[in-house]
Amino acid sequence: MAKEKTVYVCTNCGQDSPKWVGKCPSCGAWNTYVEEVVRKEPVNKRPVSGLEPVKSKPVTLNDITGGDEPRIDMQDEELNRVLGGGLVPGSLVLLGGEPGIGKSTLVLQTVLHLPDRKVLYISGEESARQLKLRADRIPHNSSDCLIVCETSLEQIYIHIKNTQPDLVIIDSIQTISTETIDSSPGSLVQVRECSASILKFAKETNTPVILIGHINKEGSIAGPKVLEHIVDTVLQFEGDQHYMYRILRSIKNRFGSTAELGIYEMRQNGLRQVSNPSELLLSQDHDGMSGVAIASAIEGVRPFLIETQALVSSAVYGNPQRSATGFDLRRMNMLLAVLEKRVGFKLAQKDVFLNIAGGLKVNDPAIDLSVISAILSSNMDTEVERDTCMAGEVGLSGEIRPVNRIEQRIGEAEKLGFKRILIPKHNLQGMDTSKLKIEIIPVRKVEEAFRALFG
């Protein structure tokens, strides 16, 4: 007879405790412990003292053969770049994102374009008919893709043994459960044990596995943080459902860089790769419009130009409003304070609204200069010339601080036909500007930038 054991597990970090506690001693979160029932199998084997033979033995570092891992081409340039050059055999990849963002669509359209690979797609959420309806919307050639609807981990291993696939997709890990644990699917213990078992299978058979995971209301992948520690690569698929752009980020990657970024455009027939996002993110008809400034930003390692929009109006009520979409509101308040203190513009009684066009969320500090330029442009009702872009971080004393990868930013602006670019003066050191066709305007303080823009 199996013994039942009850443990309390923190939903935030996965720390377990034999009794309920109010504050997690590991992560410090309050009221995050939930009860989980774990079934322990009886152990008849007594621990043996002394040494026992083991299956593996230690080897020296010189005896281990090195070399690059052969990678599987996923027939998708954006996905290949984010993965670090392709999918590594035997790797476990976790793809997370909000409901309806397009995780299953991305994975399904990718495997449907792998003609030489036998793919086993295990669906625990959707029926085979639903997957067929989605696949019919995606243009593809005939693919050796096998579909099975299953939620039992033991049955999944039987299907894998019978089909011998080259790639396994599990959609999603929160629906899979194992019979060895007496707990409901999606619980912390089930997610952790199933993921660890799948990792062992992937490493022993050298079969790559892609897991699709849910995210919670805080925006992180549901389940304990240990789930992200188990897998080799964690990819985050994000974007606003009301916009057509989707961004694929690498949060963790044991086989490549986490600075890469993939951009997709959602269409009725699936996701389209966006090789040049700058052209899509810039609206072409803002002639004569105030409150618009173009920033040369870098997300990951990719430079692209984005449109910063601002609206400044007199406050109707006593307390002026501050609102920012796609930009940190606290940083915008800091920039407004710099404008008022260092430059002398009175914005305390004005409503200020800021928007990054295209539904993007940008964390690059180099767009500070375009943010304050768009705010000032709207306040003065004077347009910024459409062939001018800028890059620079604004400090608290009103200075324009240097930014990284300035050559890539300038090159992207030049490629898209911009005539002038404002950059921090310190970035000019050691730069050869003789071959550039774009005019470089170095600025040291906010006042200099405003004089260059507005005269």
Question: How is 172-189 classified by DSSP, letter by letter?
Answer: -GGG-B-TTS-S-TTSHH
Other C-beta atoms lying within 10 Å of the C-beta of residue 349: 10
300 is in an annotated binding site: no
Does 184 carry a binding-site annotation? no
> Binding residue per annotation — 98?
yes
- 344 marked ligand binding residue: no
Say which DSSP state 74 is in: -
- Three-class DSSP labels, 379-431: HHCCCCCCCEEECCEECCCCEEECCCCHHHHHHHHHHCCCCEEEEEHHHHCCC
Q: Is 318 annotated as a binding residue?
A: no
Query: Is 100 annotated to bind ligand?
Result: yes
Among 160, 157, 100, 154, which Cα is nearest to 125's? 100
Tell me which H or E stretch contains 147: strand 145-149
Terminal Cα distance for the chain, rounded? 85
Cα separation, 308 vs 326, in Å, equals 10
H runs (alpha helix) in 206-289: 226-230, 277-281
Longest CA span, the chain: 86
The DSSP bridge partners found for residue 176 are none
| Residue 58 is assigned to a ligand binding site | no
Query: CA 131 → CA 97, 109, 229, 237, 247, distances in Å?
Result: 19, 11, 30, 20, 23
The Cα 105–Cα 271 span in angstroms is 7
Determine if residue 142 is labeled as part of a ligand binding site: no
Going by the annotation, the residues of the binding site for ATP are 97-104
Going by the annotation, the residues of the binding site are 97-104
